[in-house]
């Protein structure tokens, strides 16, 4: 890989040399000020701005500002955030953390929070440019160690963007010695059935030295399973399923995306667990080489899926949703009748939040089925991964 072929300045996190000047512009942005007013008492904002203007590098920004902010967010919107599999981390290596995608903003942020707590280096974060709705959001995420994934480009532009992104990830691990985080697919799985996009694997293998598998091995792919007890966006996803059922051409607006980001950020998530799994290099050696990169990508994606599915944390709400969805009592030993009644009430309360005209009883039943499916799928996929297809 020849990194001299690329200028990464338009997609990489901001260099510390421009940190202070960018922060000066950011704190004067009306949109950023609005978010601060929403997130904290207005009287506290001047002191925060003063502190922000004293910082001149990403490390201090993450440790002095983002760390306490994320701890506050964890305390007010979760029942605790836990991390398993720390034994799989080697301090001398950098990793490509590849995870399922639950929350637009917080998946990578909360994973980095668990690292900050333990003194583990945080990762750079891949973020799609579709979420960078305003220039100040771009500035904020690039100050916070994010790099940009170009989306919705033409075929030729898309190929060039993919090659550049692949080169940047390899450069970050091999030359900057930083880890990166990337979701296993573009966008979240609306039904919470998580599967790695083969196109992502092919993108990751576009750069590097040697064969397809060797190029993947050099970036140390480490699958990480993310489990949220509650998804604050569950009713919004159910609403979207209904809107697409009514109109197959339905597309979400930027306003919808912003509201989803805000809901996921600020509403209650219950328990949140991250489970690190061993990097897949040994498994890649066992797979061997393939003549066809499409076949290779398919097998690698399955490896990642299996690691993530086996490692989900399963909560009582998942067991209950499965049993209600299937009209069974298979997992009733995992919850009490009182807990089941509480979860059923939760599902109904969430659906009551859906604001659409003329929802019929049949349409509400459809949204309920979709919501139950969202919560049942992690359990179904874990059973498949562990039991080899038996459900």
Ordered by start, the domain boundaries in the chain are 3-229+269-313, 231-248+258-267+314-391
Residue 205 CA, chain-centre distance (Å), reads 21
Rounded to whole angstroms, the maximal C-alpha distance in the chain is 63
Q: What's the average model confidence in pLDDT over 358-364?
A: 97
Residue 141 CA, chain-centre distance (Å), reads 14
Cβ contact 193:304 at 8 Å: no
Q: Would you call 369 helix, strand, or coil by DSSP?
A: helix
pLDDT for 63 equals 96
pLDDT for 389 equals 46
Whether this prediction's pTM lies above 0.85 is answered by yes
Q: How confident is the model at residue 310 (pLDDT cuts 50, 70, 90)?
A: very high
Q: What's the average model confidence in pLDDT over 69-83?
A: 95
Rounded Cα–Cα distance for residues 147 and 12 (Å): 5
Cα–Cα–Cα angle for 345, 260, 79, rounded to 5 degrees: 55
| pLDDT, tens digit, 9 for 90 and up, residues 265-288 | 889 999 999 999 999 999 999 999
Q: How confident is the model at residue 3 (pLDDT cuts 50, 70, 90)?
A: low
| pLDDT, tens digit, 9 for 90 and up, residues 174-209 | 999 999 999 999 878 889 999 999 999 999 999 999
Q: Which of 3.40.1130, 1.10.3470, 3.30.70, 3.10.20 would CATH assign to domain 3-229+269-313?
A: 3.40.1130
């Amino acid at each position: 890989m020849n990194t001299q072929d690329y200028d990464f300045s338009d997609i990489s996190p901001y260099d510390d040399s421009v940190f202070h000047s960018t922060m000066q512009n950011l704190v004067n942005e009306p949109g950023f000020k609005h978010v601060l007013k929403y997130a904290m008492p207005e009287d506290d904002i001047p002191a925060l701005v003063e502190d922000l203007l004293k910082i001149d590098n990403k490390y201090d920004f993450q440790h002095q500002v983002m760390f306490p902010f994320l701890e506050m967010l964890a305390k007010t919107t979760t029942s605790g955030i836990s991390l398993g599999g720390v034994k799989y981390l080697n301090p001398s290596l950098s990793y490509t953390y590849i995870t399922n995608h639950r929350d637009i903003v917080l998946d990578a942020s909360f994973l980095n929070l668990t690292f900050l707590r333990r003194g583990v280096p945080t990762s750079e974060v891949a973020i799609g440019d579709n979420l960078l709705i305003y220039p100040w959001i771009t500035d904020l995420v690039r100050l916070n160690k994010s790099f940009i994934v170009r989306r919705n480009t033409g075929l030729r532009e898309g190929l060039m963007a993919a090659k550049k992104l692949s080169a940047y990830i390899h450069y970050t691990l091999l030359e900057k010695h930083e880890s990166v985080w990337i979701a296993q697919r573009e966008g979240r799985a609306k039904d919470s059935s998580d599967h790695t996009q083969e196109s992502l694997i092919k993108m990751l293998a576009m750069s590097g030295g040697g064969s397809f598998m060797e190029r993947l091995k050099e970036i140390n792919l480490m699958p990480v399973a993310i489990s949220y007890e509650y998804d604050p966006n569950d009713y919004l996803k159910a609403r979207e399923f209904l809107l697409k059922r009514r109109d197959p051409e339905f597309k979400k607006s930027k306003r919808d995306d912003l509201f989803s980001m805000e809901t996921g950020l600020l509403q209650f998530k219950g328990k949140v667990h991250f489970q690190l799994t061993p990097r897949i290099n040994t498994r890649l050696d066992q797979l061997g080489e393939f003549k066809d990169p499409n076949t290779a990508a398919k097998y690698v994606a399955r490896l990642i899926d299996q690691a993530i599915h086996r490692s989900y944390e399963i909560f009582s709400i998942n067991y209950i949703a499965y049993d209600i969805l299937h009209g069974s009592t298979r997992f009733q030993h995992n919850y009490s009748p009182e807990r089941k009644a509480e979860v059923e009430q939760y599902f109904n309360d969430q659906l009551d939040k859906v604001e659409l005209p003329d929802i019929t009883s049949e349409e509400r039943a459809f949204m309920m089925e979709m919501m139950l499916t969202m919560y049942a799928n992690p359990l179904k996929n874990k059973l498949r991964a562990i039991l080899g297809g038996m459900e």
